[in-house]
């Protein structure tokens, strides 16, 4: 199954990007797709302009050496790996330059090494801008904890989608995560959170003297409804049965990062949805809280119809 048609790997040539390049090359090869590597680097100061060509050539040489090392680690013939290096000097925030390039060239997947962070959790400013404003799927890569045949994938879905577009996104998340787990010979966990959101409000308000039995009945019904909806969603996705389902009661922005850390998940697949109606404002509070505490790779899908607030040309 060809999941993506045009893949872009983004680098600024500063950090060791072995993890990101490994994941990008593995995926591009399994997808039978040429990997475009976009090297973005800041424009030199006016007094240093004479060194621009030397600087650019040095960065490209270092990137080529990194690609060779990754190919060797993956037992790939460097000469037969389909990739091309594209360089762009930037005078604007690099994330905006990347998004403009994506819009002009029509990529449907951007892969990038996650920026180094204290304690290894959350994502930096450039990464967050890509998550919020890049028009296509974004894969932020971190080193995996397991061998390729033991990759642990998790996908977070909302079984109680409030409109057709959200349900469509959940179905795409399930289909994509199944495809990725199969490509990498990994395992797949499906995560979905539920709660009876009015319980605390009703249980402890003096004016609402609702019997305890009724509270418990309402909670059981909420649990049962979520289970039914989640099963129907998974069945509709057609991903089969080679997965584990984890239904967790409580806040997803707390429970999902806890699960990822406890179960040593390598890659979390999730959607970024906000119901603000504001152009380009994509990550809602729940999704933002989740990604700010992530310590693994993240593959984030946009809902259909999302329009980036960034324009292809200035």
Per-residue model confidence as pLDDT tens digits over 35-52: 899 999 887 777 777 777
Q: Supply the pLDDT for residue 256.
A: 93
Task: With cut-offs at 50, 70 and 90, classify the pLDDT of residue 314.
Answer: confident
- Of 77-86, 101-110, 168-177, 231-240, least confident by mean pLDDT is 77-86
Share of the chain above pLDDT 90, in %: 40
Q: Supply the pLDDT for residue 259.
A: 96
Q: Supply the pLDDT for residue 2.
A: 53
Q: Supply the pLDDT for residue 199.
A: 56
Q: Supply the pLDDT for residue 273.
A: 62
**C-alpha triplet 13, 306, 141: angle, nearest 5°:** 30
Closest CA to 156 of 301, 8, 1, 10: 301
Residue 76 CA to residue 71 CA, distance in Å, equals: 5
- Of 26-35, 67-76, 149-158, 269-278, least confident by mean pLDDT is 269-278
Tokens 């977070």 belong to 156
Q: Supply the pLDDT for residue 281.
A: 36
Residue 213 CA to residue 228 CA, distance in Å, equals: 22
Q: Supply the pLDDT for residue 152.
A: 94
Closest CA to 245 of 189, 286, 308, 187: 189
Highest mean pLDDT among 108-122, 141-155, 281-295: 108-122
Contact, 252 vs 186, CB < 8 A? no
Q: What is the pLDDT of residues 195-240, one digit of tens each?
A: 876 655 555 554 456 677 777 788 889 899 999 999 999 999 999 9
DSSP 212-228: HHHHHHHHHHHHHHHHH
* pTM for this predicted structure: 0.88
Q: Which two tokens stand for residue 175?
A: 């289909």
CA 78: distance to chain centroid?
Answer: 27
pLDDT at 100 over 70: yes
Q: Supply the pLDDT for residue 164.
A: 85
Q: Supply the pLDDT for residue 55.
A: 81
Contact, 134 vs 110, CB < 8 A? yes
The CB-based long-range contact list for 71-80 (8 Å cut-off, 24+ gap) reads 71/25, 73/18, 73/22, 74/22, 74/25, 74/26, 76/25, 76/29
Residue 297 CA to residue 195 CA, distance in Å, equals: 27
Q: Supply the pLDDT for residue 84.
A: 87
Q: What is the pLDDT of residues 116-126, one digit of tens each?
A: 887 778 899 99
Q: Supply the pLDDT for residue 282.
A: 41
More confident residue, 56 or 246: 246
Q: Supply the pLDDT for residue 262.
A: 94
Q: What is the pLDDT of residues 252-282, one digit of tens each?
A: 889 999 999 999 999 999 987 644 333 333 4
Closest CA to 123 of 151, 142, 102: 142
Q: What is the pLDDT of residues 4-25, one digit of tens each?
A: 889 999 998 777 778 888 888 8
| Domains of the chain in sequence order | 7-301 (3.40.50.12370)
| Count of residues in the chain | 314
Q: At what angle do helices 18-30 and 52-73 cross, to 10 degrees?
A: 70
Tell me the average pLDDT of the chain.
85
* Gyration radius of the chain's alpha carbons: 22
Share of the chain above pLDDT 70, in %: 89
Q: Supply the pLDDT for residue 149.
A: 64
């Amino acid at each position: 199954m060809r999941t993506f048609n045009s893949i872009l790997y983004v680098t600024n040539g500063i950090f060791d990007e072995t993890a990101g390049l490994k994941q990008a090359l593995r995926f591009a090869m399994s997808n039978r797709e040429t990997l475009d590597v976009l090297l973005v680097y800041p424009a030199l100061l006016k007094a240093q302009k004479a060194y621009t060509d030397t600087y650019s050539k040095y960065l490209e040489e270092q990137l080529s050496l990194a690609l060779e090392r990754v190919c060797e680690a993956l037992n790939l013939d460097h000469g037969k790996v389909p990739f091309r290096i594209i360089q762009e000097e930037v005078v604007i925030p690099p994330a905006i330059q990347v998004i403009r390039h994506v819009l002009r060239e029509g990529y449907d997947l951007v892969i990038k090494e996650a920026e180094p962070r204290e304690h290894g959790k959350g994502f930096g400013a450039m990464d967050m801008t890509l998550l919020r404003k890049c028009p296509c799927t974004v894969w932020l890569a971190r080193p995996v904890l397991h061998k390729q045949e033991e990759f642990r994938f998790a996908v977070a879905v909302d079984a109680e989608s409030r409109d057709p577009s959200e349900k469509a996104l959940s179905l795409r998340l399930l289909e994509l995560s199944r495809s990725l787990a199969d490509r990498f010979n990994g395992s797949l966990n499906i995560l979905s959170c539920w709660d009876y959101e009015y319980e605390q409000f009703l249980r402890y308000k003096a004016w609402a003297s609702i019997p305890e039995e009724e509270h418990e009945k309402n909670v059981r019904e909420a649990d049962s409804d979520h289970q039914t909806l989640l099963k129907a969603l998974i069945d509709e996705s057609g991903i089969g049965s080679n997965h584990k389902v984890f239904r967790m009661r409580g806040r997803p922005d707390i429970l999902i990062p806890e699960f990822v850390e406890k179960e040593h998940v390598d890659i979390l697949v999730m959607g970024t949805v906000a119901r603000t109606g504001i152009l380009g404002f994509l990550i809602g509070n729940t999704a933002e809280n989740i990604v700010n505490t992530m310590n693994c790779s993240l593959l984030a899908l946009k809902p259909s119809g999302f329009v980036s607030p960034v324009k292809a040309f200035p």
